[in-house]
Amino acid sequence: MKVLVIGLGGVTNGGKTTLAEKLKKMLPNCDTISQDDFFKPESEVETDERGFKLYDVLDALYMDEMVTSIRNWMKNPPRSGVVTEPQKTYDNLENTEVYILIVEGFLLYNYEPLNELWSRRYFLTLPYEECKRRRSTRVYQPADTPGYFDGHVWPMYLKYKKEVEENTSNVVYLDGTKSHEELLTFVYSDIMQELKMVME
């Protein structure tokens, strides 16, 4: 049995969830885990002196639980075998049990216990104006307060991105302004190459 754990990290509203869902339909025995499912309840998230809830930091998440969920999946991946969209498969994949987990989230590569699990790491980026525009069209619970994007969300993104650039190797940076199809084609091909190497 072969297991691949793929990270889809990066900027808020960069297209991580959409990409993960599309890949899930195209890859064999593929599951997804979203980091958003590990947020602490609002009452446990710190508030700064400006009244901003500090959601865009590691402390706002149950990171240990996330690592445990991924490790449990790796030990016993569910067998789906379902590929709902046709694609070329490699002959040597046909008879081998391959399981793929796509983990998507905004803070994937800044937590050391997670960094030993990745087979591939992708990081979606957006320029400031486009990210702010997309963020303004989304409804969050709790809702973004005035100034929240500039006061907390964007500065934390830049901080953690810099950490990744300085401390993490083998990260593939993706331009989130590209079309969904372009991003999907690239990442899918890259994962299939990784699968081929795993099989050889």
Choose among 88, 12, 86: nearest CA to 55. Answer: 12
Kindly report the three-state secondary structure assignment for every residue of 60-108: HECHHHHHHHHHHHHHCCCCCCCCCCCCCCCHHHCCCCEEEEEEECCCC
Look at the block and give the residue holding tokens 């958003």.
Answer: 36
37 is catalytic: no
Range 130-136 contact pairs with CB under 8 angstroms and sequence separation of 24 or more: 130/176, 130/177, 131/11, 131/12, 131/13, 131/14, 131/157, 134/13, 135/12, 135/13
Phi-psi region of 103 (alpha: psi -120 to 50; beta: other; left: phi over 0): beta
d(CA 78, CA 2): 13
Distance of CA 21 to CAs 15, 16, 26, Å? 10, 9, 9
Query: Which of 31, 36, 48, 59 is labelled catalytic?
Result: 36
Residues labelled as active-site residues: 36
